[in-house]
């Protein structure tokens, strides 16, 4: 991977991290722990695992088409190649990005962070 895409990827990650940090500081202290009477605090929540999914598209097919799938068959998706992938956290779209390769694995470069309602 050349240096320029690495720098762009690192910048996108830094931007996304900063956006999360800004939102996190706005949360401050949260609910009171009923056992101790102390605020739960954001620090305790930062260790909670979340599921991150990158979705490049969807397909709809009949059961017959599904049964006939096999090696070499293609499944057309509902997005064009140039459209961004959705980045979901626990099933909710939080950002969009483009699929990239990092050495021999796939990755996603964040291109925009979705506004929360």
Q: Map out the domains of the chain as residue ranges.
A: 1-48, 49-117
Extended beta strands in 19-91, E state: 52-55, 85-89
**What does the pLDDT look like over 11-55, one tens digit per residue?**
777 676 666 655 555 555 566 667 776 766 677 778 888 999 999
* Topology given in CATH for the domain delimited by 49-117: Surface presentation of antigens (SPOA) (2.30.330)
pLDDT at 1 over 70: no
Indicate the pTM of the whole model: 0.60
Token pair for 65 = 């088409």
97-111 average pLDDT score? 93
Is residue 79 within 8 A of residue 57, CB to CB? The reply is: yes
Question: What is the radius of gyration, based on Cα positions, of the chain?
Answer: 19
The SS3 assignment for 37 reads coil
Task: Name the strand (E) or helix (H) holding 66.
Answer: helix 63-67
Is residue 54 within 8 A of residue 99, CB to CB? The reply is: yes
**What does the pLDDT look like over 49-101, one tens digit per residue?**
899 999 999 999 999 999 999 999 999 999 998 999 999 998 899 999 999 99
């Amino acid at each position: 991977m050349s240096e320029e895409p690495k720098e762009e990827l690192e910048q996108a990650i830094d931007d996304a991290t900063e956006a999360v940090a800004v939102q996190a500081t706005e949360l401050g202290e949260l609910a009171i722990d009923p056992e101790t009477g102390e605020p739960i605090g954001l620090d305790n929540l930062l260790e909670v695992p979340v599921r991150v999914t990158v979705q490049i598209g969807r397909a709809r097919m009949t059961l017959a088409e599904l049964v006939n799938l096999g090696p070499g068959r293609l499944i057309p998706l509902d997005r064009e190649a140039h459209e961004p992938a959705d980045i979901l956290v626990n099933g909710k779209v939080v950002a969009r990005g483009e699929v990239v390769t990092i050495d021999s694995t796939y990755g996603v470069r964040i291109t925009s962070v979705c506004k929360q309602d």
